[in-house]
Chain A
């Protein structure tokens, strides 16, 4: 990591990667990775591997490098103080001080496995670097400490590589789940990202400038201000009415509603059928619900979850303030995994006092609606192979496992599980912001490496019906996961050649509703 030579540490070829099942079994027929442009290499610190996620400008002078290293050390120190990092100090210190380096976590990591076991992507690799820095510079260990914990040379190339390496982990925490001691390598990546953002102002533009900052400035990371969001929803209502034959109207800013529904605004832009289906179901079930047009309150995303505590808290507070203003009974989070965890779990210890408004998953609400019998459902309308992707944030990190399964089992006669699933699931490969990061050739990395395991699971789930004559559906109740799965299916031509489509959960429910015109799920690529 400290190597002065400004060259990547590793290079992967398709042949190095984890083998894939049919029809992707031949690495020679796989897409070649697009190379980083020479402009990117000259301008940015792209010295870790084949790609570049963060685009850190190269320092121009040795003094500039020294200053960046000084800032890094300053941030490292702050990570271990209660004033600056009460939010995660205890788990971080526990992880720093107790890893037994048994490598149990490595076998659990989809990125390490998909890379063909490349050392750079081993979950403990990044943590070991951080651990050595911790004992040397935070604990001020001398020679004895170096002997006990291992030494490390700190310089700018190491910091630059560590910045990139903190964005080679999906933060799915599958590794932490298997650690016999409870050390958490995902947390290490999370805390490193925080250090770079909160101290050095370094974060991928998709997460910060075009993410949390845009959301706080105009209301949504999609760039939609409240007026545009309302216009789009009005259009979606019209479209859904036309497609289903049922009049759909989305209520806005209804004071005293039972439910404030917050969608990932990406759904409004990319998958309008999802908010349309939600509106139709909630109306049909007689739920008194509303959307909010307050700043940030119509977009459930909270990218701060992945890289910055201050940004995280600000967005979570905006969501809670909107609910408080409308005097709703509860907030329900739409189909967005990270928004679930952000608002229901992590923000729980931020939203105190009158901001502590009950928050729950849409999965449970939908399960109760479907099971209550208030919708007339015809499962034969969903008589095609369906598999269910478990978003890590919703399942392993929040424990919402069964509600979505109960629904799918009830309305999809050909439902089959991926293996493993539930809390043992694999990340889609787009987690922690990767699904929206596509600068340089980063997409190649996330298709070939971080998403590889999920694609393997999808292909295995449909192994008995891969032919194009059978329409197949990957249900992914999370916008981020859906984006990643969409991109991978398109990249490998799996819709064109094998008719594997993806979508959310509510689409399946509406597709099964007898009152709705048949064919809500349009078997077209989108």
Chain B
């Protein structure tokens, strides 16, 4: 039984990684689209970012050097990723529910990282974690874990409540959305209970993680904790196949769409890509498009749809 729990945990992590990478690769391989940016674009010059301006505000902008304002991007990205600044700004009621949930997830991810680090140190250099550092790590991941679990659990519960009661959300909520939130509640609830209701003689969190990493099946994981681990692991594997993978999509919606203001320069990488796209052969059926499946985009774009009279 313990082995099965390990297989589920390790397998789920693997599925999560493969699923997430596959999804990211799928988006990355899609053709470069026409420009569709939205201002403000934060990597613009600082004096322009303030009012949402672009390089188009300069006469002869193509003759001016363009500087990528990384700090400007970070100023937007970091608060957005950590604190969901956009939601705070535009939908405070949703932020109050969504932030505890997401921040709880971040804390849990950090907790897993710390516990895994402790377990590895314990395996590879036990003397390092046997003293003050070990105690420090123990208290840190315990505090983060408790706060993360509680925050994510409460966040999922109040998100579910809002989904079921708010008029503006109900009509757009599918059984799948309810199921997803219930899954979070069940997984975090059982993890929480599993950690805090376990027998004092049960293996510590670090011991469990170390056992998973070394596939040591001699460790006896309490039933409730095992259930929490399995539910959480399966949920992790499930996420890349749902809209909950928006942490992947968001990278592209921001960097490839909203903030993608790269102008085409003669002979540059973009122009080469465009040259390929213009050889695609569209099959749109409306007569005025004049796409018969043999003409390329370049030919379609230079076809006069009025030739020989209006079509």
Contacts and interface: CB of A to CB of B under 8 A. Distances in A.
B54 A398 contact: yes
Given A93-B27, A173-B38, A368-B59, A102 B287 contact: no
A314 B301 contact: yes
Contact of B41 (A82, A87, A314, A399): A399
Interface in A410-438: 422-423
Given A182-B253, A397-B38, A399-B41, A310 B246 contact: no
Given A91-B253, A182-B257, A82 B34 contact: no
Contacts of B270: 349
Interface stretch (A24-32, A160-168, A194-202, A266-274): A194-202
What bracket does the count of chain B residues touching chain A fall in? 35 or more
Nearest to B253: A182
B27 A314 contact: no
A71 interface: yes
Given A84-B284, A349-B270, A217 B310 contact: yes
B38 A176 contact: yes
Contacts of B30: 82, 89-90, 93
Interface in A326-370: 330, 344-346, 348-353, 356, 358, 360-361, 363-365, 367-368
Contacts of B161: none
A402 B36 CA distance: 21
Contact of A181 (B168, B250, B280, B287): B250
A94 B300 CA distance: 27
A146 B292 CA distance: 35
Contact of B246 (A98, A216, A349, A361): A98
Interface string A89-112: 111011101111111101110000
B195 to A, nearest CB: 29
A88 B30 CA distance: 10
A422 B89 CA distance: 17
A287 to B, nearest CB: 11
A49 interface: no
A397 B39 contact: yes
Interface string B261-285: 1011010001100110110111111
Nearest to B47: A402
B52 A423 contact: yes
Interface in B63-110: 80, 84, 86-87, 89-91, 94, 98
A348 B285 contact: no
Interface in A139-156: 147-150
B31 A344 contact: no
Contacts of B264: 348-349, 351-352, 356
Contact of A104 (B32, B57, B94, B257): B94
A108 B59 CA distance: 32
Interface stretch (B119-127, B138-146, B171-179, B186-194): B171-179
Given A107-B90, A217-B306, A349-B34, A98 B253 contact: yes
A87 B39 contact: no
B40 to A, nearest CB: 6
Contacts of B55: 399
Given A103-B91, A310-B301, A349 B172 contact: no
A285 to B, nearest CB: 12
B258 interface: yes
Contacts of A476: none
A97 B243 contact: yes
Given A93-B27, A94-B253, A356-B266, A180 B34 contact: no
Contacts of A83: 280-283
Given A216-B305, A402-B57, A78 B169 contact: no
Nearest to A149: B174
A180 B87 contact: yes
A364 B168 contact: no
A82 B280 CA distance: 8
B57 A349 contact: no
A128 interface: yes
A147 B174 contact: yes
B252 interface: yes
Contacts of B171: 119
A104 B88 CA distance: 10
Contacts of A183: 253
B42 to A, nearest CB: 11
B57 A364 contact: yes
A86 to B, nearest CB: 4
Nearest to B90: A178
Contact of A400 (B54, B285, B291): B54
Given A98-B250, A104-B87, A314-B303, A400 B38 contact: no
Interface string B153-178: 00000000000000011011111110
B288 A400 contact: no
A364 B288 contact: no
Interface string B36-64: 11111100100010011111111111100
A443 interface: no
B249 interface: yes
B304 to A, nearest CB: 6
A471 interface: no
Interface string A103-145: 1101110000000000100101000100000000000000000
B256 interface: yes
Contacts of B44: 399
A472 interface: no
Given A93-B30, A101-B177, A314-B303, 13 more contacts: A88-B33, A94-B252, A102-B98, A103-B172, A147-B175, A181-B249, A201-B288, A348-B35, A349-B270, A353-B271, A396-B52, A397-B37, A400-B54
8 contacts: A91-B256, A101-B172, A176-B38, A181-B250, A208-B288, A213-B305, A313-B301, A346-B34
| In the A-B complex, the 8 residue pairs with the closest CB atoms | A399-B54, A182-B253, A148-B176, A423-B52, A313-B301, A98-B249, A86-B31, A104-B91
Interface of B: 27, 30-41, 44, 48, 51-62, 80, 84, 86-87, 89-91, 94, 98, 168-169, 171-177, 179, 242-243, 245-246, 249-250, 252-254, 256-258, 261, 263-264, 266, 270-271, 274-275, 277-278, 280-291, 297, 300-306, 310
